[in-house]
Amino acid sequence: MATILELKNVSFSAQNQNIVQNLDCTFEEGKATALVGPSGCGKSTVLKLAAGILIPNQGVVEFRGRDIYKLSRRENLDFRRESAFVFQDSALWANQDLFHILELPLLVHFPDMSKSDRLTRIMEVVEEVGYRRDLYIRPANLSMGEQKLIAFARALICGPHIFFLDEWAESLDDKAAQHLTRLIAKRQKEQKTIIFITHDFRFIKSLADHIIMILGGKMFLKLTREQIDADRDLARYIEMGISS
């Protein structure tokens, strides 16, 4: 499989703190890669750098061999349409109702879509994630778990090729978390590229083709699923490393 995203010698710092340092890592097209490591090691920062949401202080992020900060406006829009991000804190717009939060990506990326087709698409993704309440309320009226469902629905809405998922199961009950995991597994079967962060070893076992362990803002280990399946000590080491 080809590399779809590559971070080359990427560093990121904020408030005089080096958060990611000289990181080199690649993500394969059509594969699911788990980013793991203890709290505060830099996973969310790496995911945002890979998605072009944070700008590195040093180094290059390439999408299909092209520097994502040198894409034309058209190419950048294509990259945005092909990518979907579920933020760890959901990051829903506080001053919009849920319907408009879900409608905005369609208005940007499919400007010719009719209003009734937008409505149909919104209802499809809302049903798919299992959200059953009103859409004409604002995120502050939702539980953290419900916010995650809407964030997930927003990620699905444009039918992206690359999913950046930052702890999708956080705040959800086990049933809802397993349900979203099945939706991810479905995309995996459709050869979508999935880069995800989790502290739950079950999701690594059920989804990950590759595992990248981050420690202190650096890539510490990159493993394949086969390596973990073949070595119980290694599996236990990863399990301990992600939950600490």
Ligand X SMILES: Nc1ncnc2c1ncn2[C@@H]1O[C@H](COP(=O)(O)OP(=O)(O)OP(=O)(O)O)[C@@H](O)[C@H]1O
CB closest to Mg ion, residue no: 44
**CA separation for the pair 32, 161 (Å, rounded):** 12
Confirm or reject binding of residue 40 to ligand X (CB under 6 A). Answer: yes
Confirm or reject binding of residue 45 to ligand X (CB under 6 A). Answer: yes
Asked if 49 and 12 touch (Cβ cutoff 8 Å), the reply is yes
| Residue 171 contact among Mg ion, ligand X, none, beta carbon within 5 to 8 Å by kind | none
Q: Smallest gap, in angstroms, from Cβ of residue 46 to ligand X?
A: 7
Confirm or reject binding of residue 42 to ligand X (CB under 6 A). Answer: yes
Confirm or reject binding of residue 17 to ligand X (CB under 6 A). Answer: yes
Per-residue binding string, ligand X, 133-172, x by CB under 6 A, is: ----------------------------------------
Residue closest to 153 by CA, chosen among 195, 100, 190: 100
Of the pair 33, 45, the CB lying nearest ligand X is at 45
CB-based contacts of 169: which residues, under 8 Å, 6+ apart?
177, 180, 181, 198, 200, 203
Among 31, 43, 154, 210, binds ligand X (CB under 6 A): 43
Q: What SS3 class is residue 117?
A: helix
- Choices 39-47, 73-81, 94-102, 176-184; region in contact with ligand X by CB under 6 A: 39-47
Asked if 35 and 212 touch (Cβ cutoff 8 Å), the reply is yes
Asked if 136 and 98 touch (Cβ cutoff 8 Å), the reply is yes
Of the pair 44, 193, the CB lying nearest Mg ion is at 44
Asked if 6 and 168 touch (Cβ cutoff 8 Å), the reply is no
| H or E segment and range at residue 149 | helix 144-156
Confirm or reject binding of residue 41 to ligand X (CB under 6 A). Answer: yes
Confirm or reject binding of residue 56 to ligand X (CB under 6 A). Answer: no
Angle between helices 98-109 and 73-82 (to 10 degrees): 130
Among 44, 147, 171, 193, binds Mg ion (CB under 5 A): 44
Among 14, 137, 144, 240, binds ligand X (CB under 6 A): 14
Residues binding Mg ion (CB under 5 A): 44, 88
